[in-house]
Structure 1
Amino acid sequence: MDYIETWKEVIQRPSDFFRKMPTTGGYNDPLTFAALTYLIYGLLSGLFGRGIMGGMYGYSGFREFGFATAIGTAIVAPIAGIISIFIGAAILFIIYKVLGGSGTYEGTVRFMSYATAVMVVYWIPFIGWIFGLYEIYLYIVGGMFVHDVSMVKSAIAVLLPLVVIILLTVIAAMFFVSSIFSAIF
């Protein structure tokens, strides 16, 4: 696997990449790609996102950042990232099946692994969230080809968990606020 060429193809030509991507063949190549991506993300995020630049995302409770933070983040990021891919793939696989998708769990893990390509630039302060939106687009395109569904169905599959999480958060916040008001009054 040529990491840089694969990364460029995923970022620059996602439709072509996911159309040609094999949906079988094991987990090794896609998870290696994802692990390397998370490693790069961890190092860059640890050094620049929160590290050398002094915590641009706000005070984190630590006074000193630097190389040790970057190394720690680089170790944790690939492990947590791979675990999240397997869990996220299980959730998306079920949703795609409900929506009539014909793909496999392995294919779902594969497209999600390659969609992590955006993590290489995700750490950039103030504009990283834009790449997060692009990652959602990569999920939609990857799922569309892997599960052989329309872009609308793929978007529903990808966005549904996000909508559910937002709704549950709003409901929990409403219960929290109402319990505070009931305790006060």
Structure 2
Amino acid sequence: MFKARRYPEGIREPLAFGLLSGGFGDMLAFFWPVLLFSLGFVPFDDSVFGPLDRILIVTLMVGIPLAVVLNMFFYSGILHLMLLIVRGGGGGYQATFRVVAYSQAALVWNIIPFMGAWIATVWKLVIQIIGLHEIHHISYARVMMAFLLPILIFFVLIAMALVPLLMLLF
């Protein structure tokens, strides 16, 4: 999908695709718990859903698409920054955004009860790794480093916060 193609400038088409497929996929993620809850099979207590009424449905219908769009822009920005750090974002932010937007299609796996979200997450990651490799013309190792870098930074920050605390205890 991403290989040996010339991509037009702009993010309108990927944004529309990501919004439609990501919004639909995220709404599917809410389908099974709400269905089970409404049928009396309560996998969660009332604090998770509370009273299911029209306001909640309308809020989800507005909130999910907004969250999908904001997530795509924010996630693409962080991912592209990580690619630049590992010297791999040569295709530009739009290319990274395109991969992230098209990977939203994996969220249709949310139609499968209970396991769909796990399958969607793994497949979305696979699409992004392959897509970034192809669209930026970088090695899989650099793509993987870009994905693992935020985790490494997180653990370094945790260690930096814990060292002074441990020094106080000992």
Q: Same fold (TM over 0.5)?
A: yes
Instruction: Tell me how far apart the structure 2 counterparts of residues 98 and 18 of structure 1 sit (CA, whole Å).
Output: 22
Contact 2:21-2:108 at 8 Å conserved across structures: yes
SS of 1:92 mapped into structure 2: helix
CA distance in 2, matches of 1:34, 1:41: 10
Please say if residues 85 and 112 of structure 1, whose CA atoms lie closer than 8 Å, have aligned partners that are also in contact: yes
Which structure 2 residues correspond to residues 95-106 of structure 1 after superposition, within 5 A?
95-101=82-88, 102-106=90-94
Residue 39 and residue 21 in structure 1: after superposition, are their counterparts in 2 closer, same or farther (change >3 A)? farther
- 2:127 counterpart of 1:144: no
Distance 1:161 1:60 in 2: 35
Cα separation, 2, equivalents of 1:172 and 1:124: 41
CA distance in 2, matches of 1:57, 1:170: 34
Aligned Cα root-mean-square deviation (Å): 3.1
Alignment of 1:74-85 (within 5 A): 74-85=61-72
CA distance in 2, matches of 1:121, 1:158: 22
Asked if 2 retains the 8 angstrom alpha-carbon contact of 1:85 and 1:113, the reply is yes
What's the CA shift for 1:59?
Answer: 3.1
Do the aligned partners of 1:140 and 1:155 also contact (CA within 8 Å) in 2?
A: yes
Which one of 16, 23, 27 corresponds to residue 32 of structure 1? 16
Give distance in 1, aligned partners of 2:83 and 2:55. 41
SS for the counterpart of 1:82 is helix
- For residues 91-170 of structure 1, the aligned pairs below 5 Å read 91-101=78-88, 102-122=90-110, 124-127=112-115, 128-165=117-154, 167=155
1:19 matched to 2:3: yes
* C-alpha distance in 1 between matches for 2:12 and 2:58: 24
Q: Any idea what the Cα deviations from partners look like across 1:155-181, whole Å, max 9, x if unmatched?
A: 11123224544x379669979xx8xxx
Percent pairwise identity: 22
Answer 1 or 2: higher relative contact order, Cα 8 Å, separation at least 6: 2
Q: CA 1:124/1:168 → structure 2, altered by over 3 Å: closer, same or farther?
A: farther
1:51–1:93 Cα change, 3 Å: same
Please, what TM-score do these two structures have when normalized by structure 1? 0.70
- Summarize deviations over 1:106-154 as a string: whole Å, max 9, x none: 1111110001111122364331212201111111111111221101111
The one-letter amino acid of 2:79's match is: L
The match for 1:46 among 30, 55, 79 is 30
Residues 37-46 or 93-102, more deviating: 37-46
Please tell me whether the aligned partners of residues 23 and 68 of structure 2 are also in contact (alpha carbons under 8 angstroms).
Answer: no
Label 1:67 to 1:22 Cα distance change in 2 as closer, same or farther (>3 A): farther
Gaps of 5+ in 1: 1-16
- Among 27, 42, 59, the alignment partner of 1:72 is 59
* Residue pair 2:83, 2:146 contacting (<8 A) in 1 also: yes
Cα deviation for residue 39 of structure 1 reads: 2.4
